[in-house]
């Protein structure tokens, strides 16, 4: 599932609980391998998401599931909620995510996996940030 801020706005407003998208990710990768989905359909990261992955996130030692390149796969967190811009706020650390637990209002963090080499991106988890 490609990540888009509009998804976050609806979920945050609805007060939905934690959601794990790993099964959907696995299905997307299986469809890609089977030829049911074109690489261009899953390697479509927004330029801003790629910029964040290259310049702000720490790359993992895990190979990208699409291009198999090591050192370009990152996980980024965006926070959406009360008094935040519609495009969300980038959270660079666990401490920054924890800060939202101390604030009043409804906040949700979205964990997105992105490859800065091929543009693969998939929503991994949605986590409500509540005290």
> What pLDDT digit, counting tens, does each position of 78-128 carry?
999 988 888 889 988 888 888 888 888 889 999 999 999 999 999 999 999
Average pLDDT over residues 19-41: 97
Domain count, the chain: 1
Average pLDDT over residues 21-26: 96
| Pair 80, 90: CB distance under 8 Å | no
When pLDDT is cut at 50, 70 and 90, the band that residue 129 belongs to is confident
When pLDDT is cut at 50, 70 and 90, the band that residue 10 belongs to is low
Question: How is the chain split among helix, strand and coil, in percent rounded to 5?
Answer: 35, 25, 40
Average pLDDT over residues 56-72: 94
Expressed as residue numbers, the domain containing 108 is 5-129
User: Does the global pTM surpass 0.75?
Assistant: yes
d(CA 89, CA 97): 10
pLDDT at 41 over 80: yes
* The predicted structure's pLDDT at residue 98: 87
Token reading at 109: 């963090």
* The predicted structure's pLDDT at residue 23: 96
d(CA 6, CA 88): 10
**87-95, long-range: CB < 8 A, 24+ apart:** 87/5, 88/5, 88/8, 90/52, 90/56, 92/56
* The predicted structure's pLDDT at residue 24: 97
> Mean pLDDT over all residues of the chain?
88
Between 25 and 105, residue with greater pLDDT: 25
């Amino acid at each position: 599932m490609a990540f888009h801020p509009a998804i976050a706005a609806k979920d945050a407003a609805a007060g939905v609980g934690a959601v794990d998208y790993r099964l959907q990710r696995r299905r997307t990768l299986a469809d890609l391998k089977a030829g049911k989905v074109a690489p261009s359909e899953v390697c479509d990261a927004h330029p801003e998401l790629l910029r964040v992955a290259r310049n702000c996130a720490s790359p993992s030692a895990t190979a990208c599931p699409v291009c198999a390149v090591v050192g370009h796969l990152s996980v980024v967190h965006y926070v959406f909620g009360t008094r935040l811009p519609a495009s969300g706020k980038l959270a660079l650390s666990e401490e920054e995510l924890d800060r939202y637990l101390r604030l009043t209002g409804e906040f949700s963090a979205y964990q997105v996996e992105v490859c800065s080499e091929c543009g693969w991106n998939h929503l991994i988890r949605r986590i409500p940030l509540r005290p």
